[in-house]
Amino acid sequence: MSAYDKLPDPERLPPPKQKKTESERIASFLTEVGGNVNPQAGECLKKAEPAFVAVIQVITIVAPIYKQIYTKIYEVYVILPKNVIQMIFGLCLCFFGGTYVAAIAAVEAFRQLGWQTVSTNLVVVQKQAALILEASKKDDKVDDDGDGVADVDQIEARALVQRKIQVGMKAITEPDRLQTACGALFTSYLAVLATLRLEFARTTAFALGIVEMAKFPIIRIVSPTVAATLGADLAHWTQSIIESSLTFVAVIFAWFLQQIISAFYSGLRGGRMFADGLIAELEERDLMSKVPLIKQPFDPDESFLDETIGYAIAAVGFIFQITNGFRLPFPLNIIFLPLTILEWILRLQISMEGSKALV
């Protein structure tokens, strides 16, 4: 028998180990952790693993794009004159103030609680998080056994968690500052959430009041149909399902009314900001003398120019928001998608906390 004949049959060789992608690794981790906590939940997560992979892949692709977009926006923001920035913010309030009522209120609350401290803590967390991310990427490529597959793809979820915790702890250079910054940010967030809950308490109260008044007649009318649809085994869920559905619809309606109120107020405020910024910019460029029908020399205290411009912009912005149903046109709806998600998270938390406080 020749040496050639002693070589292993390629068909009998084990298949080469495939390197997992980041999304597959995270999805596998979630599935394994869920199985350790609850076998039934783990089975459900196992079936949903392809969906986890798809969602994580979308996030990993989209996140860098949004990072580039917001980086460019910030670069433009830095170089713009102060008056122009004021005009842009005024227009944003006029046209989107009702759409992002909770997010804008959260920003105002952060400013009142000390935005300088919050921003400083955010910078600390961002720098340390960048170090952890970089160290984790390097660890994903480590192959100590030399089998061509990264070590992180060959260990169990619990061992992977311990490994990543150690990698992160080694990468952090200022643990004391990071701990203080995280604690301060969490405290600020709770304070802001409490402020928003008080500010929008009547929104939740209004929704719960609608449910309380409409619950009894609607249950009498709808419950036979719902009970028949659910069947004999689930009929006892009829009242709970109807009440939960009514509460959901009432909260959505109450927030819509709050959007109308906020759109009107933010339109007036944004229009005034735009007008003041525009007049200040024209004065700095010595262009007010060229504006027709304006008494010279221009005196803002004796002129109605700022009020005329402000109210006109406010009216246009308010009508725009109402006619569009507080929806953003393309491509702004794509650009501000993260802010839209944040807005709905805040509304959900405010409504839930407000419901608990009023029960």
Structural domain boundaries of the chain?
A: 1-79, 84-112+200-359, 114-195
Using CA atoms, how far apart are residues 102 and 105, in angstroms rounded to an integer?
5
What confidence score (pLDDT) does residue 123 get?
87
What pTM did the predictor assign?
A: 0.68
Residue tagged 């819509």 (tokens): 256
What confidence score (pLDDT) does residue 353 get?
63
What confidence score (pLDDT) does residue 359 get?
47
> Tens digit of pLDDT per residue, the chain (359 long)?
555 455 555 555 455 555 566 656 666 666 665 555 556 655 666 666 677 667 777 777 888 888 888 889 888 888 988 889 999 999 999 999 888 988 888 888 888 777 778 888 888 888 888 888 888 888 878 877 777 777 777 777 677 777 888 888 888 888 888 888 888 888 888 888 888 887 777 777 777 777 778 788 888 888 888 888 888 878 888 888 888 888 888 888 888 888 888 899 899 999 999 998 988 888 888 776 776 766 666 666 677 777 888 999 999 999 999 998 888 888 888 888 888 998 888 888 887 765 554 44
Using CA atoms, how far apart are residues 243 and 230, in angstroms rounded to an integer?
15
In this structure, what are the phi and psi dihedrals at residue 286, rounded to the nearest 5 degrees?
60, 45
pLDDT digits over 232-242, tens only? Answer: 878 888 888 88
What confidence score (pLDDT) does residue 58 get?
78
Note the Cα 136 to chain centre separation in Å.
Answer: 25
Of the candidates 175, 170, 188, the residue with the CA atom closest to the CA atom of residue 132? 170
DSSP string, 3-28: TTTTSPPGGGSPPPPPPPPHHHHHHH
